[in-house]
């Protein structure tokens, strides 16, 4: 059905059309954000998640098109648009236009944004990794899932974990600097275990991940600890928007990102056998039944 080479066989989070990278994300009320989330944070989030896809391609923001579903909720759209404007101004993403539609009473709000980026000299895909490449993360994982859990328990919760859930930070600078050097790259949106498996499968490889090597923030460790269960929660939670990438064994990302403030960690390697091995300091770890957030109806 999708035959254009720019679609990359639908194995990537973005399409490449000439000098541009294009991506689209949809967020649904009650699925991707909580009903009580401030609309200003929802506006920020829809921009940030699209920009994270551009970051994983090493692209510079060029513009966006918005699909805005209107409901009879006075003030909601105004606050949502203010949050979207906050993000667009912060990250240099001009809003170029889009469309609006009125929803029938009782329908969940569905919001969509298409982001357009200027491609760099190399636009990495998920599929370029090779057996023996190291699997790396730029950024930490688990914070957003922990923040969501806090809000589900107490809608008035605040703090850095809630901030990570409501206002994700796309790693545009890291993506731009890494893109010419990585063999494969994508962002972590649905959970590290699930997204790492996707990258390995697209690259025709297996993988070995080390839970003990996962980068956890101080706020996450303070709230959840760092034992095996805490690390499995972080690795399957999603909404991280860290960058997951692979490098040949001799490559050094600390040199590539010298002077940056990004957390970098080697969390495993691609393998030849096609299997998914998960380990920690205590030995092999059974794969959980849920690797991350799967996008299909229940």
Confidence of residue 296 (pLDDT cuts 50, 70, 90): low
- pLDDT of 297 strictly over 50: no
Residues in the chain: 298
Distance CA 40, CA 298 (A): 29
Q: What is the mean pLDDT of residues 69-94?
A: 95
Q: Residue 32: its pLDDT value, please?
A: 83
Domains and their CATH numbers in the chain = 5-118 (3.30.1330.10), 134-284 (3.90.650.10)
- pLDDT of 298 strictly over 60: no
- Across 168-221, where does the E strand assignment appear? 184-188, 206-210
Distance CA 291, CA 11 (A): 18
Q: Residue 216: its pLDDT value, please?
A: 97
The tens digit of pLDDT for each residue in 241-280 reads 999 999 999 888 888 777 777 799 999 999 998 899 999 9
Q: Residue 260: its pLDDT value, please?
A: 73
Distance CA 114, CA 61 (A): 11
Q: Residue 293: its pLDDT value, please?
A: 77
Question: Is the distance from CB of 95 to CB of 64 less than 8 angstroms?
Answer: yes
The tens digit of pLDDT for each residue in 158-187 reads 999 999 999 999 999 999 999 999 999 999
Q: Residue 166: its pLDDT value, please?
A: 96
Q: Residue 2: its pLDDT value, please?
A: 65
The tens digit of pLDDT for each residue in 7-63 reads 566 667 888 999 999 999 999 988 888 889 999 999 999 999 999 999 999 999 999
Half-sphere exposure of 178 (CA within 13 A, CB side): 34
Answer yes or no: pTM beyond 0.85: yes
Q: 268's torsion region: left (phi>0), alpha (psi -120 to 50) or beta?
A: left
The tens digit of pLDDT for each residue in 186-241 reads 999 999 999 999 999 999 999 999 999 999 999 999 999 999 999 999 999 999 99
């Amino acid at each position: 059905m999708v035959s254009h080479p720019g679609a990359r066989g639908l194995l990537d989070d973005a399409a490449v059309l000439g000098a541009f990278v294009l991506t689209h994300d949809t967020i649904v009320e009650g699925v991707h954000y909580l009903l009580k989330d401030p609309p200003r944070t929802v506006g920020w989030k829809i921009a940030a998640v699209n920009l994270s896809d551009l970051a994983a391609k090493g692209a510079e923001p060029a513009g966006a098109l918005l699909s805005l579903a209107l409901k009879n909720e006075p003030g909601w759209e105004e606050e949502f648009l203010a949050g979207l404007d906050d993000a667009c101004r912060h990250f240099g993403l001009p809003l170029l236009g889009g469309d609006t539609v009125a929803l029938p009473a009782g329908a969940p709000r569905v919001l969509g944004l298409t982001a357009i980026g200027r491609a760099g000299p190399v636009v990495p895909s998920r599929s370029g990794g090779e057996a023996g490449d190291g699997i790396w993360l730029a950024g930490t994982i688990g914070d957003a899932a922990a923040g969501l859990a806090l809000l589900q328990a107490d809608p008035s919760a605040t703090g850095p974990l809630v901030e990570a859930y409501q206002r994700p930070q796309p790693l545009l600078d890291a993506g731009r600097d890494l893109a010419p050097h990585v063999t494969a790259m994508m962002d972590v949106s649905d959970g590290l275990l699930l997204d790492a498996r996707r990258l390995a499968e697209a690259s025709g490889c297996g993988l070995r991940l080390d839970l003990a090597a996962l980068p956890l923030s101080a706020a996450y460790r303070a709230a959840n600890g760092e034992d095996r269960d805490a690390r499995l929660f972080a690795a399957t939670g999603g909404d991280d928007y860290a960058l997951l990438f692979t490098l040949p064994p001799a490559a050094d990302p600390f040199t590539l990102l010298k002077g940056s403030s990004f957390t970098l960690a080697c969390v495993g390697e691609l393998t030849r056998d096609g299997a998914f091995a998960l380990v920690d300091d205590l030995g092999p770890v059974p794969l959980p039944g849920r690797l991350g957030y799967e996008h299909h109806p229940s």
